[in-house]
Amino acid sequence: MTTIATLEQPEAATTLSQLDQLKKLTKVVADTGDFATLKQYTPQDATTNPSLLFKAAQMAEYKSVVEKAITDARKTGATGRKLLEEVMDCLLIAFGVEILKIVPGRVSTETDANRSFDTEALVAKAHKFIELYRHQGIGRERILIKIASTWEGIRAAEILQREGIHCNMTLLFSLAQAVACAEAGAKLISPFVGRILDWYKKTTGKDYAPAEDPGVVSVKEIYAYYKNFGHATEVMGASFRNKGEILELAGCDLLTISPQLLGELKADTSPVERKLSTAMAKETKIERLVLDEKKFRWLLNENPMATEKTAEGIRLFNADAQKLEQFIAAQL
């Protein structure tokens, strides 16, 4: 479990940046595959996804990482399409290994989006990732396997967690998904704050203050549910659109933040106030949600935002994975 500092209120005047103040309340994670950014902001953990790795792989400074992945993949003796798949896996692990040389904690490595509805395939890919990391001298305690929060993905996480392979459940937009992940024993969930806000702004035409931001409200509800019912699963707010969303979740177990917003937090010395804690959460009255597969699918179906954003997220990650494949194919 994440240890949260006991500091409840910052001093009125401080020379600490908001980023440094936030680190006293929450485990800060960098949402990037860029090594220079990681060194600049010194986060505890790092997360990656196909979109971030596609950008990083095209940068000249990471040419050696791409070349190493190709070399490692060729050693398997694979050819054609199989070789391309091997390079993709080796590239994910190569970036992960380099990231772990910089951050003291964990790195999240994403499973293929096109496996999001195939429990067995997700488990197999996770096993492969763990084995590839092992060959590079990295133990499973430093790895989080990222899996989309579909029913099939949650069942894969349940299997993997029993084996001691920790999972980061991504593309999560609803309490039903969060509860199912916690009951499956997932190590961590990543509710997507900004994408929830995007949907509501587009649907209602309204702007939202940070405290009323639907994404922020969703994470606070999930956090309160977990703390009230004793779930050990960590809550990591993700996909932020502005600094205000981040500050409204100060005190959350973890927050994964883009380089731009890390920069804004580092440049500001305004006080940061704790907004979430276990004690605060337990003041919230919340009913236990009883779930099975039918109830899960029904609740997701009845939540148009969660249904649309989960499907859209899977499509977008798959599209970026295909772009990365095309880039790698050109190198081969």
∠330-314-53 over CA atoms, to 5°? 40
Identify the burial level of 19 via C-beta atoms within 10 angstroms of its C-beta, where 0-12 means exposed, 13-18 middle and 19 or more buried. buried
Phi/psi at 310 (5° precision) = -65, -50
Can you tell me the distance from the alpha carbon of 180 to that of 157, in angstroms, rounded to the nearest whole number?
Answer: 11
Rounded Cα–Cα distance for residues 220 and 217 (Å): 5
Q: Return the structure tokens found at 159.
A: 């299997």
CA distances from 308 to 188, 192, 208, 321 (A): 22, 13, 20, 20
Which residue in the block uniquely carries the two structure tokens 């148009």? 304
What angle in degrees, to the nearest 10, is found between the helix axes of 175-183 and 304-331? Answer: 70
Residue 146 annotated to the active site = yes
Which position among 23, 27, 125, 146 bears the catalytic label?
146
Gyration radius of the chain over CA positions: 19
Asked if 291 and 158 touch (Cβ cutoff 8 Å), the reply is: no
Residues annotated as catalytic are: 146
